[in-house]
Chains A and B, each alone.
Chain A
Amino acid sequence: MSYALTTENIKKVFKKNKKTIHALKGIDLQIREGEIYGLLGPNGSGKSTFIRIASTLLIPDAGKIEIFGYDVVKKASKVQRLINRVSVEASFFRKLSAIENLLFAAGIHGISKKEALKKIYAISEKVGLDKGRLHDPLEDFSRGMQQKVAIARAFMTEPKLMLLDEPTTGLDPRAKREVQSLILHMKEKMGATILLTTHDMEEAERLCDYVAIIHKGRIIVKGHTEKLKAMIAHKIKNPTFEDVFMEFTGVSFDEAEYEEAESA
């Protein structure tokens, strides 16, 4: 079995205004090629920080991270060719149209205009993005629509490893379904590996093959979706990952978040 992403003891500390935040305190994980790997945890637990490190946007203070065997820090440009990312914030030139933004993204990934347009139309179709609106400036788009454009931007480059940081947050139930289908399609038809963070437990259950639960910068438990739930099935009927989280930390996601806010 080969791995899409492996890390050893990844640590990241932020220093802001004399305050020190230990965002990641030694993350070890292995993502197998072709699986959807869920990274779940309350607000501020370090999910986005980890995804930024895997995206070459943050350099870890300690530890080792490899994507398809390439060191993410030392071989960043090799890694960049294999990945893409969708973040919670859509991040676009708001004055430019969707198509202008997408063609720019395609261009800097070395994709020709012709090829890019074909993919943009195909993905728009799949996520229910109205083609007629593609020439409107992004500032006129609703948040959900912007998110769909962000999804098109990442899927268009057909990365081997897709980093999805809450890709469906802010989408209506139908759009959510469409994006989830697209993620499954990526995995099944294109053999992509996906790292997914989400606050939607149903989504995690529907999509993920394997799940790691992160809390205060540490992975507290990880395992196959079914096995994790089976671990506490004797206590709770039809357990969710939140129940798993609660079982291992003694607090719920909401409480953990509150705790985080207090200590901050």
Chain B
Amino acid sequence: MNTQGVVREMRASWAFIVRNFNLIKRYWKWELVFFVYTIANSITMGFIGKGVEAFSGAELDTSYLILYMLLGSILWGYLSILFEIVAETVAWERWEETIEYTFMAPIKRATHLLSVCGFAILYGILRAGLILLVVSAFFDLDLSKANVLSATGILAVASFSFIGLGMVAAILPLISPEKGVQVVHIFQALLLMFSGVYYEITVLPQWMQNVAKFSPATYALKGMRSAILDGKGFSELWSQIWPLLILGLFLLPAGIYFFQLMEQWAKKRGVLKRSG
């Protein structure tokens, strides 16, 4: 690609980011509602952590438990936003019928998808931070050891894989405008169930533990918990980082590839336009 080509792709990338920002801005009331919902979920999880002591009778490190649960819930919220934005923009474009115009633009599909995902990641990380801030007001959290920077680093590395999965998720509304987005939520719930969202994966049956090894969320959760609960630095989390890198290296291109494959299929079947 020549310089002119690079400039064009960069302008396109920026255009996608601005568009998604504008859409969120226009629906800010819904964003607020959804934010409150996520906060409510996180607080509930925090109280479950606190409640364990009450019904087990044993003396536990409650602060540790609360944070443990909260981190699960924060990753849940983060993935929701990421998948939601990526899948929803495709669903939206189908609904508004702008998808034909977007697909006609002379840009690489990778630029398109990566820009939307990039926006989703920035928005998701910002949101996760805000949630942690709001929720910590409800609990007496011990964040003295927490290494927020290395937790964010883990989330960033894990995001390469999450983007790949997000693109696969975006295929669903491409082929089924009605139910595509709902299926994305089911997919997310399954992913987190296998990955130890509110528990160590060692409590899972062996076959589920085997599946968990292939989920980036497993390493993301473990890495973030080590960083926040035990104060581990980024360099100490290598055993989480390398599987995330390998998964990302595979999942990211695979996501782009499958999206393009299904785009070709949609163009053969003539399903891009909504009305007959």
Q: Do they bind each other?
A: yes
Number of A-B contacts (CB under 8 A): 103
**Docked-complex contact B264 and A59, CB < 8 angstroms:** yes
Shortest CB-to-CB span from A82 to chain B, Å, is 9
Query: Within 8 Å of chain B (Cβ to Cβ): is A14?
Result: yes
**Docked-complex contact A107 and B15, CB < 8 angstroms:** yes
Within 8 A of B (CB), among A228-256: none
The 6 sampled A-B contact pairs (Cβ below 8 Å) are A57-B273, A58-B268, A80-B106, A93-B23, A94-B96, A107-B12
Which B residues are in CB contact (< 8 Å) with A49?
A: 270
Query: Within 8 Å of chain A (Cβ to Cβ): is B8?
Result: yes
**Docked-complex contact B16 and A108, CB < 8 angstroms:** yes
**Docked-complex contact B98 and A108, CB < 8 angstroms:** no
A-B pairs, 3 with minimum CB distance: A107-B15, A110-B8, A80-B106
Query: Within 8 Å of chain A (Cβ to Cβ): is B27?
Result: yes
A112 vs B26: C-alpha distance when bound (angstroms): 24
A87 vs B100: C-alpha distance when bound (angstroms): 10
| Chain B interface, >50% SS class | helix
Interface centre among A91, A103, A107 (most CB of B within 10 A): A107
Which B residues are in CB contact (< 8 Å) with A111?
A: 11
**Docked-complex contact B19 and A100, CB < 8 angstroms:** yes
Chain A residues within 8 Å of B, Cβ to Cβ: 12, 14-16, 49, 52, 55-59, 61, 77, 80-81, 83-85, 87, 89, 91-96, 100, 103-112, 137, 153
**Docked-complex contact B22 and A96, CB < 8 angstroms:** yes
**Docked-complex contact B18 and A107, CB < 8 angstroms:** yes
Supplied contacts A81-B106, A95-B23, A108-B12, 19 more A-B pairs, CB within 8 Å = A49-B270, A52-B270, A57-B104, A58-B267, A59-B268, A77-B106, A89-B275, A93-B22, A104-B15, A104-B16, A107-B15, A107-B18, A108-B15, A108-B105, A108-B107, A108-B112, A109-B106, A111-B11, A112-B11
**Docked-complex contact A91 and B106, CB < 8 angstroms:** no
Shortest CB-to-CB span from A204 to chain B, Å, is 24
Which A residues are in CB contact (< 8 Å) with B23?
A: 93, 95-96
Shortest CB-to-CB span from B205 to chain A, Å, is 42
Name the CB-closest residue of A to B15.
A107
Known: A59-B267, A104-B15. A96 touches B26 (CB 8 A): yes
Which A residues are in CB contact (< 8 Å) with B107?
A: 77, 108, 110
Which A residues are in CB contact (< 8 Å) with B211?
A: none
A37 vs B233: C-alpha distance when bound (angstroms): 67
Which B residues are in CB contact (< 8 Å) with A105?
A: 101, 105
A49 vs B18: C-alpha distance when bound (angstroms): 32
Which B residues are in CB contact (< 8 Å) with A110?
A: 7-9, 11-12, 106-107
**Docked-complex contact B11 and A91, CB < 8 angstroms:** no
Query: Within 8 Å of chain A (Cβ to Cβ): is B272?
Result: yes
**Docked-complex contact B18 and A84, CB < 8 angstroms:** no
A137 vs B25: C-alpha distance when bound (angstroms): 13
Known: A14-B270, A59-B264, A110-B8. A103 touches B15 (CB 8 A): yes
Within 8 A of A (CB), among B72-120: 92, 96-98, 100-108, 112
A137 vs B27: C-alpha distance when bound (angstroms): 13
